[in-house]
Amino acid sequence: MLNAIIQVGLFTLIVTVVSVPLGLYMARVFRREPTFLDVVLRPLERLVYRVCGVHENTEQDWIEYTIAMLLFSAVGMLLLYVLERLQFYLPLNPQGFGAVAPDLAFNTAASFTTNTNWQAYAGESTMSYFTQMAGLAFHNFVSAAAGIAVAIAVIRGFVRRSAKTIGNFWVDLTRATLWVLLPISIVLTLVLVWQGVPDNFNTYTHVKTLEGAEQVIAQGPVASQESIKELGTNGGGFFNANSAHPYENPTPLSNLIEMVAIFAIGAALTHTFGAMAGDRRQGWALFAAMALLFLMGAAIAIRAEQRGNPQFTRLGIDQHASATQSGGNMEGKEVRFGIVNSALWATVTTDTSCGAVNAMHDSFTPLGGLVPLVNMQIGEIIFGGVGSGLYGMLVMAVLSVFIAGLMVGRTPEYLGKKIEGREMKLAMLFILIFPAVILVPAGIAMVTKAGLAGISNPGPHGFSQVLYAYTEASANNGSAFAGLNANTPFYNVTLAFVMLFGRFLMKVPVLALAGSLVAKKSIPPSAGTFPTNGLIFVLLLVGVIIIVAALTFFPADALGPIVEHLALATGRLY
């Protein structure tokens, strides 16, 4: 346990230290203040605007901003679909992979456009190098940049006074890509190559094993995709085994670096918010709420996996850690990472919209698997996806101050702005869309032949597989209880629509909320103003988040991982 505390504590400390300067840097970038990269990037930025016909000094209201975001995403999705269907005729395809099937191509295009990066295929046996780079890695950048852009627009809506506009989507998208994602990804790529991650255009290597069998070792531009996959909380792996593959994640150091990259921007955006709001304590309050929820989940997941399977204990099997065994539940885990780093990674990747995995969540204990599921059901706001975590947390902050206002009989305020009927309707619409997009299709899957056909385990675990699939799709996460056979027309199509709804139906009300708030005047604080930068607000915010998630998803979770845990604990197996 001491080892777990040290590792989690060190990781949390690193994320905290990294997030502050990165957050303040992003505040300068999006306020268009001078940065050390301007001498290189400003000429390139002007060229992009000139080629694309963007007027960088013209801002948009929330409707124009939303339309621009939706059109950009729609065109990008269409181009990726076409690229997948035509990849046999395109260059950089040394393995000669054929066209991707229509339903799988549609699913993958929706997945990478929405920053979900769910993969119902094995990358090394399906996608050409050109598709991996020009299609998937490209969307890793721009889907992440679009999320950051929306977060910055929402911040402007909260902090501007009596205004009409919330920024320019094309400018925010460009600056997020050029100033934030691209330079950090270049550095991270070089670090991963140093650690042993390949980045080449070689054909696959055929070797003879010691037993005389032939083995095919996949190659490719892995490091360059791995860096943005983690930094942009994308999660789609070059290989089917994802970050459990030694070519994606070869060492304990690469494991730590990639986990920090997953959290870095989502954590830093809280400080960007504080800086742009003119009160950095506001950002620290959101950071503290996210960190508290993260630590709670990590503690439960690590403890559940370290305790192992209670059925093994009844059989007299020793599951304690010793010099000769790791102890606990090592099923589906890499021995080079062990239980702590596997459970910690599962918590980190589902606290965000990343979805990259270094262990198989389907092999976790019921409570260990419940933590990633609940992390996503909370709404992808525990640091969250790049951008989406912050604006989701801001919606929960609005709900929290509304509840606080009801307690004292006063009109709620946040950052000096009254939260009135219109704002609460938009906030509740944002909150209600999420469970509807998960529970309705999951229910349909459980009562249809096509949905049941994909389940590989009977009983509650099979239900957990389906519930997890639609939860990760709506949360734009991309991880999986991989025992579910999801590469079927039914799951490819339904999950694609869930990913699209979970991404874009939730962005519209949050941008409308920003548009409503940006026009409001600032109200000076008074004796009745509820402070939103202290410990009481942090605890209220965490409590509201947990209660909303429990009221929404507890009945479904009780039918899956909770009843499975009780069955194992009591020995009354289904």
The predicted structure's pLDDT at residue 376 = 94
pLDDT digits (tens, 9 = 90+) for 344-396: 999 999 999 998 999 999 999 999 999 999 999 998 899 988 989 999 999 99
Query: What one-letter code names the amino acid at 378?
Result: I
The predicted structure's pLDDT at residue 574 = 54
Sort 333 into a burial class: Cβ within 10 Å, 0-12 / 13-18 / 19+.
buried
Mean pLDDT confidence for 223-239? 91
Give yes or no for a contact between 377 and 549, defined as CB atoms under 8 angstroms apart.
yes
Return the higher-pLDDT residue of 26 and 324. 26
Q: What percent of the chain is predicted at pLDDT more than 90?
A: 75
> How many residues are listed for the chain in this entry?
574
Question: For residues 115 and 145, what is the distance between their CA atoms, to the nearest angstrom?
Answer: 10
The 10 Å Cβ neighbour count of residue 323 is 4
Instruction: Give the domain ranges of the chain.
Output: 2-277
pLDDT digits (tens, 9 = 90+) for 492-549: 999 999 999 999 999 999 999 999 999 999 888 777 788 899 999 999 999 999 999 9
Confidence check: pLDDT of 177 > 60: yes
Mean pLDDT confidence for 210-237? 90
Q: How high does pLDDT run on average in the chain?
A: 92
The predicted structure's pLDDT at residue 573 = 61
Mean pLDDT confidence for 71-93? 95
Confidence check: pLDDT of 267 > 90: yes
Question: For residues 179 and 378, what is the distance between their CA atoms, to the nearest angstrom?
Answer: 30
Q: Which two tokens stand for residue 110?
A: 């929706």
Confidence check: pLDDT of 567 > 90: no
pLDDT digits (tens, 9 = 90+) for 431-481: 999 999 999 999 999 999 999 999 988 889 999 999 999 999 999 998 988
Residue tagged 């991309």 (tokens): 478
Confidence of residue 181 (pLDDT cuts 50, 70, 90): very high
The one-character DSSP state at 167 is B
Confidence check: pLDDT of 571 > 80: no
Confidence check: pLDDT of 322 > 90: no
